[in-house]
Copies of this chain bind each other. A is one copy, B any other.
Amino acid sequence: MATDSERNERMEKIVSLCKRKGFIFQSAEIYGGLNGCWDYGPLGAELKRNLRNYWWQKNVTERDDIVGLDGSILNHQDMLKASGHVGGFSDPMVDCRTCKARFRADQLGEAKCGEKPSKSPLENGCDLTEPREFNLMFQTWMGASRDETSVAYLRPETAQSIFVQFKNVCDQTGERVKIPFGIAQIGKAFRNEINPRNFTFRSREFEQMEIEYFCRAQDGLRLTDEWLETRIRFYEAIGIPRDKLHILDVPDGERAHYSSKTYDIEYDFPFGVQELEGVAYRTDHDLKAHSEAVGKPQEYIDQAAGEKFIPHVVEPSAGCDRTVLAILCEAYDEETITDEKGKEETRTVMRFDPKMAPIKCAVFPLLKNKPELVEQAKAIKAQLQPLMNVTYDETGAVGRRYRRQDEIGTPFCVTVDFDTIGENGPDLEGTVTVRERDSMAQERVKITELAGYLAERLR
Contact = CB atoms under 8 A, between A and B. Distances in A.
Contacts of A49: 56, 68
Contact of A30 (B27, B33, B167, B392): B167
A422 B48 CA distance: 48
Interface stretch (A38-46, A115-123, A231-239): A38-46
Contact of A68 (B38, B45, B144): B45
Interface in A39-93: 39-46, 48-49, 53, 56-57, 61-62, 64, 67-76, 78-79, 93
A298 B31 CA distance: 12
Contacts of A43: 172
Interface in A1-56: 19-22, 25, 27-46, 48-49, 53, 56
Interface string A349-385: 0000000000000000000000000000000000001
A327 to B, nearest CB: 15
A67 B22 CA distance: 11
Contact of A142 (B32, B76, B169, B204): B204
A188 B73 contact: yes
Contact of A34 (B20, B36, B37, B152): B152
Interface stretch (A132-140, A336-344, A429-437, A443-451): A132-140
Given A27-B161, A102-B145, A194-B144, A69 B93 contact: no
B205 A73 contact: yes
Contacts of A386: 57, 61-62
A345 interface: no
Interface string A163-200: 01101110011111000000101001010101000000
B205 A34 contact: no
Nearest to A69: B45
Given A142-B138, A172-B21, A194-B144, A165 B290 contact: no
A222 interface: no
Contacts of A143: 35, 192, 194
A22 B172 contact: yes
Contact of A42 (B41, B42, B68): B68
B194 A28 contact: no
A161 B71 contact: no
A38 B72 contact: yes
Copies of this chain = 2
A393 interface: yes
Nearest to A82: B31
A221 to B, nearest CB: 27
A141 B190 CA distance: 12
A410 to B, nearest CB: 12
A196 to B, nearest CB: 10
A46 B68 contact: yes
Contacts of A27: 71-72, 74-76, 161
A144 B33 CA distance: 17
A154 interface: yes
Interface residues of A, number: 91
A57 B164 CA distance: 33
Given A70-B39, A389-B61, A164 B28 contact: yes
Contact of A294 (B30, B79, B298): B30
Nearest to A93: B144
Contacts of A22: 67, 168-169, 172-173
A129 interface: no
A391 B76 CA distance: 33
Interface string A220-232: 0000000000000
A296 interface: yes
A363 to B, nearest CB: 11
A98 interface: no
A107 interface: no
Contacts of A172: 19-22, 41-43
Contact of A71 (B21, B40, B71, B173): B40
Given A28-B76, A32-B76, A43-B172, 5 more contacts: A22-B168, A27-B161, A39-B165, A41-B69, A102-B145
20 contacts: A20-B172, A29-B168, A30-B298, A31-B78, A32-B76, A34-B76, A36-B142, A39-B165, A41-B169, A46-B68, A48-B70, A49-B68, A57-B386, A61-B389, A73-B190, A138-B140, A139-B141, A140-B140, A174-B404, A175-B395
